[in-house]
């Protein structure tokens, strides 16, 4: 006896639940601001609702394309703001809010420090390299899907990823 088909909204809710945390990390690394990252992810999810009737196998590429586009929009908007009005020290004080629920404080500290260095190294990468690394390595998307999301050819994805890995390897050599 065939199972009743799930409604697109219920399936899309499950998709969002599975991608929410990773999307937030991706946006936070790109935007360097928790509030902007939350806004970008929420906006991407809201925009995805327009495509709920599309086949589920298209959702991953579509969602990451929408989120990437939203991140780029926010970054561009920032470039045009009057950044000289804000104090440089205020920007340096922005930090991640770390939650320490682990039983071993020393281990948790080492993990936070390693993560902070990785995030710092990722932020130092050019945008396209950071996107290629995030989508291919962290999100484990294939080259074709990543190319579609980034709006470039598969060869460009491979080049950006190779350069990102090389730069990260040089920058994070002490963690080998």
**What is the structure's pLDDT at 114?**
76
Q: Using one digit for the tens of pLDDT, what is the confidence trace for 18-27? A: 999 999 999 9
- Is pLDDT larger for residue 74 or for residue 91? 74
Least confident of 2-6, 36-40, 113-117, 135-139: 2-6
Cα distances from 32 to residues 24, 99, 159, 167, in angstroms, run 11, 18, 25, 19
C-beta of residue 174 within 8 angstroms of C-beta of residue 113: no
Any residues with CB less than 8 A from the CB of 54 and at least 6 apart, and which? 62
Residue 156 scores a pLDDT above 60: yes
Instruction: Compute the C-alpha angle 78/26/137, nearest 5°.
Output: 135
How many angstroms from the chain centroid is the CA of residue 63?
11
Q: Which span out of 5-14, 76-85, 129-138, 151-160 was modeled with the highest average pLDDT?
A: 151-160
């Amino acid at each position: 006896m065939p199972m009743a088909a799930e409604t697109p909204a219920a399936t899309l809710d499950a998709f969002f639940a599975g991608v929410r945390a990773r999307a937030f990390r991706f946006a936070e690394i790109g935007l360097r601001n928790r509030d902007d990252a939350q806004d970008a992810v929420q906006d991407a999810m809201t925009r995805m609702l327009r495509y709920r009737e599309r086949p589920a196998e298209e959702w991953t590429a579509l969602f990451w394309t929408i989120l990437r586009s939203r991140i780029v929009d926010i970054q561009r908007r920032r470039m045009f703001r009057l950044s000289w009005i804000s104090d440089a020290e205020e920007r340096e004080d922005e930090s991640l809010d770390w939650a320490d629920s682990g039983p071993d404080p020393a281990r948790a500290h080492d993990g936070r420090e390693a993560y902070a260095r990785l995030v710092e190294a990722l932020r130092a990468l050019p945008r396209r390299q950071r996107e290629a690394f995030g989508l291919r390595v962290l999100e484990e998307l294939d080259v074709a899907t990543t190319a579609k999301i980034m709006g470039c050819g598969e060869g460009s994805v491979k080049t950006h990823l190779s350069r990102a890995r090389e730069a990260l390897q040089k920058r994070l050599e002490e963690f080998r």
